[in-house]
Amino acid sequence: MPEDMNINAVRDSFTESLAGASTLQELDEIRVKFTGKKGTLTQLLRSLGKLPPEKRKEIGQSLNTLRDEIENELDLAGRRIRDSENEKQEISERIDVTLPQKGRISGAFHPVLQTMHELADIMQGLGYSVASGPEVEEDYYNFECLNVPPWHPARDMQDTFYFPDGKLLRTHTSPVQIRSMLQYGAPLRIVCPGKVYRRDNDTTHSPMFTQMEGLLVDKNVSFSMMKGTMSEMLNAFFGKSLRYRFRASYFPFTEPSMELDMECVECSGHDAHCRVCHGTGWLEVAGMGMVHPNVIRAGKIDPDEYNGFAFGIGLDRMAMLKYGIGDLRLFFDGNISYFMSGFGGAEKC
Among 312, 319, 321, 331, binds ligand PHE (CB under 6 A): 312
From residue 205, alpha-carbon distances to 22, 202, 323 in Å are 75, 5, 18
Measured from each CB, the residue nearest to ligand PHE is 312
Edge-to-edge strands, sheet with 307-314: 129-130, 188-197, 208-218, 307-314, 282-291, 254-263, 244-251
Q: Which stretch binds ligand PHE (CB under 6 A): 108-116, 268-276, 284-292, 297-305?
A: 284-292
Instruction: Please report how close the Cβ of residue 255 comes to ligand PHE at its closest, in angstroms.
Output: 10
Among 283, 288, 290, 295, binds ligand PHE (CB under 6 A): 288
Q: Does 145 bind ligand PHE (CB under 6 A)?
A: no
H, E, C per residue of 101-143? CCCCCCCCCCHHHHHHHHHHHHHHHCCCEECCCCCEECHHHHC
Q: Does 311 bind ligand PHE (CB under 6 A)?
A: yes
From residue 7, alpha-carbon distances to 61, 160, 243, 267, 331 in Å are 11, 109, 106, 98, 89
- Give the count of beta carbons closer than 10 Å to the beta carbon of residue 23: 10
Q: Which residues of 307-329 are buried (b: 16+ CB within 10 A; e: fewer)?
A: bbbbbbbbbbbbbbbbebbeebe
| DSSP letter assigned to residue 190 | E
Q: Does 287 bind ligand PHE (CB under 6 A)?
A: yes
Q: Does 35 bind ligand PHE (CB under 6 A)?
A: no
Nearer to ligand PHE, 28 or 259 (CB): 259
Q: Does 310 bind ligand PHE (CB under 6 A)?
A: yes
- For residues 300 and 197, the answer to whether their CB atoms sit within 8 Å is no
Nearer to ligand PHE, 253 or 339 (CB): 253
Q: Tell me the helices (H) and strands (E) count for the chain, helix number first.
A: 12, 9
**CA dist., res. 286 & res. 309, Å (int):** 13
Question: How many residues belong to the site for ligand PHE (CB under 6 A)?
Answer: 10
Interacting residues of 217 by C-beta distance below 8 A, sequence separation 6+: 181, 186, 187, 188, 189, 291, 296, 299, 301, 306, 307, 308
Nearer to ligand PHE, 105 or 248 (CB): 248
Task: Show the site string, 179-218: x = touches ligand PHE by CB under 6 A, - = not.
Answer: ----------------------------------------
Q: Which stretch binds ligand PHE (CB under 6 A): 133-141, 231-239, 295-303, 308-316?
A: 308-316
Q: Which of residues 162-181 bind ligand PHE (CB under 6 A)?
A: 172, 174
Among 6, 147, 180, 254, binds ligand PHE (CB under 6 A): 254
Q: Does 34 bind ligand PHE (CB under 6 A)?
A: no
Instruction: Please report how close the Cβ of residue 131 comes to ligand PHE at its closest, in angstroms.
Output: 14
> Residue 45: which of 60, 30, 24, 33 has the closest Cα?
60
Instruction: Please report how close the Cβ of residue 171 comes to ligand PHE at its closest, in angstroms.
Output: 7
Instruction: Please report how close the Cβ of residue 273 comes to ligand PHE at its closest, in angstroms.
Output: 29
Nearer to ligand PHE, 3 or 316 (CB): 316
Nearer to ligand PHE, 35 or 171 (CB): 171
Judged by the rule CB under 6 A, the positions of this chain that interact with ligand PHE are 172, 174, 251, 254, 287-289, 310-312
